[in-house]
Amino acid sequence: MSKQVVFSLSLLLAFIFHCNTSLAQAPDILEILEKPGRFTVLIRLLKNTGVANQLNGELQKSNTGYTFFAPPDKAFSDLRSGAINSLSDLQKVELLQFHILATFVSLPNFQTLSNPVPTQAGDTSAGEFPLNVTSAGKDVGLATGVVNATIGSTLYTDDELAVYQVDKVLLPLDIFRNYKPPEPVSESPPVAAKVHESSALSLTGHGMWFSIGIAASVAAFSL
Ligand SMILES: *[C@@H]1O[C@H](CO)[C@@H](O)[C@H](O)[C@H]1NC(C)=O
Ligand SMILES: *[C@@H]1O[C@H](CO)[C@@H](O)[C@H](O)[C@H]1NC(C)=O
């Protein structure tokens, strides 16, 4: 090999090495969540609200780091249907920001935090966005006043960003103070609800036969 080739090769290697290290310095929250394949709802929310871009931008200039709580698809499907879709755009942003701490917290350090822990959603006063760490033995618990969640596996950690899976969507009091979790499927609904449902059912039943009747006569005419 000529000296020139060797020189170009080492330049190239130095360049590749430089690229790799600068990538490692700025983790991408979407890349981290895409790998396991079970955070599709969270990823969609992070993209649609612009919170992913915001967080990725902040990660590049932060000195104190970030901690991110990631509920998997199962946690979203466990919610009452429409719980997320019925939120305003601002509430969706606040819900996501409630899953972000503007400080890097390693697992053993959760015990050292004092309650309530400030999140990116802001105001931690009662009824707003308080988040408490409740340590029970080895597992780290999180209490919002609406749900109690547990921190599961560590999806990513460096000195700057920690991403932990949580078993529940962290529902803040400010948005979900009247939230009722869905009833277990096996439980029969109360009698009043039954009467209401059956009359609603027969109404839609009439409506349906009416439409079919119209459709049939239209069809008959056009023959
Ligand atoms: C969180 O902790 C604070 C301070 O200990 C307490 O006043 C508050 O009731 C707790 N809230 C929840 C939801 O656990
Ligand atoms: C959360 O845990 C606390 C303390 O164990 C309990 O009092 C509360 O009822 C729990 N809340 C929910 C929503 O499960």
pLDDT at 223 over 80: no
pLDDT at 201 over 50: no
Output the pLDDT for position 213: 40
pLDDT at 118 over 70: yes
Output the pLDDT for position 202: 43
Best mutation site among 98, 111, 115, 176 for ligand 1, i.e. most ligand atoms within 8 A of its Cβ? 115
Give DSSP secondary structure letters for the chain. Answer: --HHHHHHHHHHHHHHHHHHHHHHHS--HHHHHHTTS--HHHHHHHHHHSHHHHHHHHHHH-SS-EEEEE--HHHHHTSPTTTTTTS-HHHHHHHHHTTEESS---GGGGGG--SSPPBTTB--STTSS--EEEEETTEEEEE-SS-EEEEEEEEEESSSEEEEEESS----HHHHTT--PPPPTTSPPPHHHHHHHHHHHHHHHHHHHHHHHHHHHHHHHH-
Atom of ligand 1 nearest to the CA of 173: 13
Pick the more confident residue, 210 or 173: 173
Instruction: Tell me the mean pLDDT in the region 43-62.
Output: 94
Q: For 59-69, how does the pLDDT look when each residue is reduced to its tens digit (9 = 90+)? A: 988 888 999 99
Q: For 123-151, how does the pLDDT look when each residue is reduced to its tens digit (9 = 90+)? A: 999 889 999 999 867 889 999 999 999 99
pLDDT at 88 over 70: yes
Structural domains present in the chain? 30-166 (2.30.180.10)
CA of 112 to the centre of ligand 1 (A): 15
pLDDT at 217 over 60: no
Instruction: Tell me the mean pLDDT in the region 14-38.
Output: 74
Give the 3-state DSSP-derived string for 18-82, with helices as H, strands as E and coil as C: HHHHHHHHCCCHHHHHHCCCCCHHHHHHHHHHCHHHHHHHHHHHCCCCEEEEECCHHHHHCCCCC
pLDDT at 206 over 50: no
Best mutation site among 148, 167, 170, 178 for ligand 2, i.e. most ligand atoms within 8 A of its Cβ? 148
**Percent of the chain, pLDDT > 90?**
61
